[in-house]
Structure 1
Amino acid sequence: MSRHSRIFRSFLISYIVILIIPSLAGYMSYRTSIAVTQSISIENSLTQLQKSQQMLERRMAEVEGFTRQLALNQDLYVLMNEKQGDGDGNVYGIWKIMREVMVFSQTNDFLKNYYIYLRNYNVVLTPGSAYFRPEHYYENAHYADMNFAQWQTKLLNQAHSREVLPLMPFSLNGAQTSVISYMQSLPLDSFGKQSPATVVVLIDQKTIASLLSGVKDRYGGWTYVSDEHGNAVSMSGIGEDDIKAINADSAFDATKQSQFYQDDLVITTRSASTGWVYRAGIPRKALMENANTIKYISWSVTGAALLIGLIVGWFLSHRNSAPINRLLGVVREQFGKDEPIGRNAYDFLQGNISTIISSNRVLEQELNRQLPLIRDAFLRRLIAGEFQTREEIQAAAAQADTGLALRKGYVGILHVHGYAGLDTVEILNELSAARLLLKQSLRDVDSRILMTDLGSDRVVAIFACAEEAADEDPSRAAIQAVLDPFAAFMFGEYKITVTGSFGDPFASDMEVSRSYEQAKETMGYADYMQRKGFLWYADIRQESTTYYYPLDMELRLISTIRAGEEDEAKRIVQSVMQQNTEDRELSPEMANQLIGELKGTLLKLLDQKAFAESERFEDAKNRIMEIQLTGSIEAIRNELYAIIEAMCGMITSKKNDLHIRTVEQIKQFVAEQFSDADLTLYRIAEQAERPEKYISQLFKEVTGTNLSDHLEKVRMDNAAQLLRDKSLTVDEIAVQVGYNSSHSFRRAFKRVMGVAPSAFRQSFD
């Protein structure tokens, strides 16, 4: 069946797999309804539980406020600090206190049952009664699990500060209930074992449970409140044993706010002020009331979606298989792929193409953002003469995207006048603006001019021909025709006076720094002579008392010869000779010194190791020593050219020998490590201690073959030997020659040898 049919089937199967999802949509919707209902129930229950918590804490705060009011009651303070003698008693004071505090029990159900114990009188005061013997009160109201002595010791004879006794069975006038007890000693700063008075508020757990009834009444279930120590404060709908069983179960996480435990959803919240824990249990069935409606709707939608999805899937399979076939055709044509990339070919191609486009766009934006900085740095290095070879300049120029050939042109320095002193920030800012206007206006006149700042009031401008017009000559007259109207425009538009100086024309990119140095010399001359306008190096008077051979020119000559760049070295010598013969009139003594300097430069080079090991060393040295100012300048120049040619030939020969040795080392390493499946260009470059790109280009130049093709050929040659032996299977041979996949090995073998491995083996039967 055709590839189109296979891809179509792959798409159709994929869509069918996707269409299985709607069949699960009903169940997922059902589960979602449970989750939503559960979430809403948890939220509502938690809100209700928090409201109940706030109410309970507010009521407990009222209880605490009650005890504080008692502590501030002057009558009670006097009463509890009176000294009681035998037979004495302040009956009126006790009666008055009873009447004053009775009102609290009538307005607050949390204060319905309380008593005040006065130690000096040994009397218990309640809202309506006074017990002059505590045992009489104990007969009417006592804890079921605490005898009189325990009650007296634990509650009456100890100091308490906002203590809460957990839920305990309690008998009140014969009626059985459970209460929590809030205890506070008076005065409030009583910290000893005994205090003058003790207030005990008995809060019925039914009263507390009524505050938590909102959660239980809405969903059913149960509520439970415990103090910070885990002791019960209130419970409704659940017993103490059940709570203990829940807390002891490892499946129950007491720190979670909500969780399912058995058939209940347990919601937990903790009070930040008291440390009490509030829990509510909601039956699972209460969460499911609204889920069935959603379930039926979900299954109906699922059926319709499945039917529509089958129709759409069939159509999309036809439509999407066509572009995939075309893309795979391009891949097979460009990369020699005989089979489709795989079932996920569309995602593979689309993802990789998108990645390439995105990466290219990001890279382009970043390069465009950094381009002005790169171009400015390149121009500064160029005019400073920091580049040693033409290749280095050309690579940097391409990176800076100058768009100019830099094979011929002029270097000039433009000076903005009128800002002497530079004493204030305002002047510096104005000067920066003037310099910016100068560059922008000059760029508007001719966008090909390259510019960079030179100090605060000067700009270096390079007038060179464009890359596509390398044969044009930007003559002095043409530059003058541009600059004169430009200077007039700057003065008329911005009142900025611009002067300039230019060096002699450069004939190659290596001479740009020379032209720049001449422009600086001309600018110095113009400043000294108070010259205005645009001045050229050729117009200023040249002194002939010394020769022209600056240090940077000598260093460039040394660098170019060491790099084997014969043409550039000859051009430097030509420039030196021209400067000293055409532009200067040297005396014979100065001419002899110049020739001596040139000879010294060549001899210094010749003493280096790269030349000393050459067989032509002595011949070159003798030729240098024999140069004398006896013939014509032309003869001396030709002799220098011949010596430079010989020295560059030594360098080229040495480079070739070094390249051949490096390639032989690479071949040896490949022959030893070809069986390693992880052998890559990176590892080969690492072993050769050279960059990957350098290794790849060098191998191609020396052998005429790509390094990857050589590695593959070595592996195939060894595989052919193993196939002749017939002791190993094809899969075993694939591993031994460095392939992780036998399929990749078979394809590579067929591509290199022209036949499949099995057919190659059969040819030797």
Structure 2
Amino acid sequence: MEQIRSRWTTDLKKNAKDRSVFMTWLLSYLSVLLVPILISGVIYGATLSVVKTEMNRANQSILLQMEQAIDNQFKGIESLSVEVGLNRRISNFMTIGSALSDSDHYAVYQIANDLRVYEIANDFIERIYVYYLNSDTVLARNNRMDSRSLYEEFRFSEDMTYEAFMDFFEPTYIKGYQSAVVPEGKGWRPAVLFAQSVLPSNPGQPGAVLLFMIDQSKLLGQASVPDEGMIQILDERNRLIATTGDPLAPSIVKYGDMPRETGQLEINGDGGSIVASYTTSAITGWKYVMTLPAAVYHQKMNVVEQLTIASILLCLVVGGGVTIWLLRRNYMPIHALIQSLSFKAGVPFDKGSNEYSYLTNALNSTFREKEKLHYKLNEHNNTLRSHFLQRLLKGQLDSHVPLRDAFEAHELRFPFGGYSVVLLRIDHFGKFHGEDGERARNRRLLLFLIANVVEEVARHSASAYAVELDQSLLACIVNQNPVTPKEHRNQLERIAEETMAFISHHAHVQLTAAASSQQEGEYGIFQAFHEAAEAMEYRIVAGSGGVIHYADLGGSEGQGAAPGYFYPLNAEQQLIAIVREGQLEKAEAFASELIRKNVTAEPFSFHTAKCLMFDLMATLQKVIGEVRTANKPDAPDGVRAIEKLMQCQTVGEMRGQLFELLGLLCAYINENREFSSNPLVDKVMKYVNDYYQDENLNISMIGEAFSMTPSYISKLFKEHTGESLLDYINKTRLAEAKSLLAGEKYTVGEISLKVGYNDVNTFHRIFKKFEGVTPGRYREIK
């Protein structure tokens, strides 16, 4: 009880800074109170959007009505232009030249009367002109003029020249609306011109152009303009066609600011902000714009904003009072319970700490003690079960206890009759390598992770239990119904590969798996483990990172057959000769071929690979002893290389160590040839190069040539070159022989005589000793 009270007190101190339930409820009620406030804000936003949409819709409606009225008038003008173009007197005048007869003057009078009638037919029309291209004659209701006078009547811009004005009439057919200006006082006022070509009956004859001048002041005569609002019509060149305001005042709204067909925009000007709604005429392309001061436009929105603020304040006042009342009413029972429990339990309650934590800590302390006892019990059960599984795999069980009873005692369920074992060895610990202090803990954690993964993967199709065997090896007992060998192989391979893939992806850990064959009965577990262990030993040949099946081992039944071993003396001599010449690539190729001949032979003993690698290392050690001299730098350390070789676990790792020593040794030989420089040795080399064709050339002949004993000159030569003088003579001869063998000019016998060998058999023997092949085979290869 004292232990529980102590733990309870510790937990209370830990939670002393927790917020009181009183504050928690207060914040909760305030959060609830924020809901209507947020709703009011959402409603405010939605209402503003609706008001804005409705106001824009009303403005658009006014503009649309105005657009339809004006466009209907334009359509009427277009219909009238067709009627005027069909007038016989107007069309017949196209054939008359510039010189008029009496009857022509009468026709002009009749046409003027007709034009006067047409002008009366449409209120929008201010004046109608008929320009005859053939006679450069312009007829109106009250006078007759030429194109120059017409230029004075109106233009398309104030600064337009007469030539630019006449360019308007150049096209064969004209039809459309055009902004124009007409003189008024000392200035110009805007107007609208509709032009329509009248084609003659004779295609080769010039026609006429009907010009309808529209009174722009009447365009907006029927427009319903809101108070303090203004309507404007703008053309594509941003010219003010018509306005309900001051026509001389510049327009704040620009045509380029209104890219869509209809819309609304807010513009800041010198006179303040304005809101502009606009629409586009389908006939003329003009923009019909209604502008309102922003303050007027937002007046209704300000009313909605004030109502929303009042609603929020009301929520705060009423909701705050209700919150305080509910908070006190609900907290009093909790407060009374805390006071009673604090008095009886003897554990004081710190004001401001969390009441719920205080109430639950007593129960939690009891539950923790119970869980701790349960955890310890389960921990011992897991340890006992792991120990039992280890003994089961190794066959070290008590014979007087039936296995079924032992399985039940350790909560093991093996419902099927087939048993297999999958071994998983950790080749590389990846993220779990860790420092020296953490390495043991990381490895235990990794083995625990692998055990759980392999059990989970295997239980998709079988019953499985995993157990650790050492710090890098884990075994999984797989129990399933007896199946065919192929199905069994596929199932175990799936289990191993999925486990290896998962661990490699998430932990960067490399595993090697070994799978046994399927055994029947519980006592077959030991045999399955023995097979999996044998398969795992084959990792030295197969390499790491794969799945090795016991069924794939050649001679697996005890491996009684004695394996073959290939490393004859002549092969060792060839390797020594190649290395002494510093030919790294040739040495690696030769060693690889020796390894391939041994490792790929079946059946293969695991120890054979080690023997071969140590023999190859011993051969390189011989070369190191031959090339090392007193006046040369230190040669590669062959002893250290053998120590590294002993630590390798696979043939691939041994091969890497062998090739590393080969590279160091060949580099040493090639880099230190300069130490052989000696005047006498250089003369001996030159003498051999000059007389290698002489069949009598030998060490005695060279000694006589330099007045020295053969033994002394041979010893001196080897000290400075690292090789014997006789070998140098043979290599010099063989170098020339290889050059001659590359061609087809001489036979092998003739080449033997040319390089100083009187006996062709001697030539064959020495050539094969140094090159590894006969001269004839060498010629075939090349």
TM-score range, shorter chain: 0.3 to 0.5
Q: TM-score, normalised by structure 2?
A: 0.40
Q: TM-score when scaled to structure 1?
A: 0.41
**Larger radius of gyration between Structure 1 and Structure 2:** 2
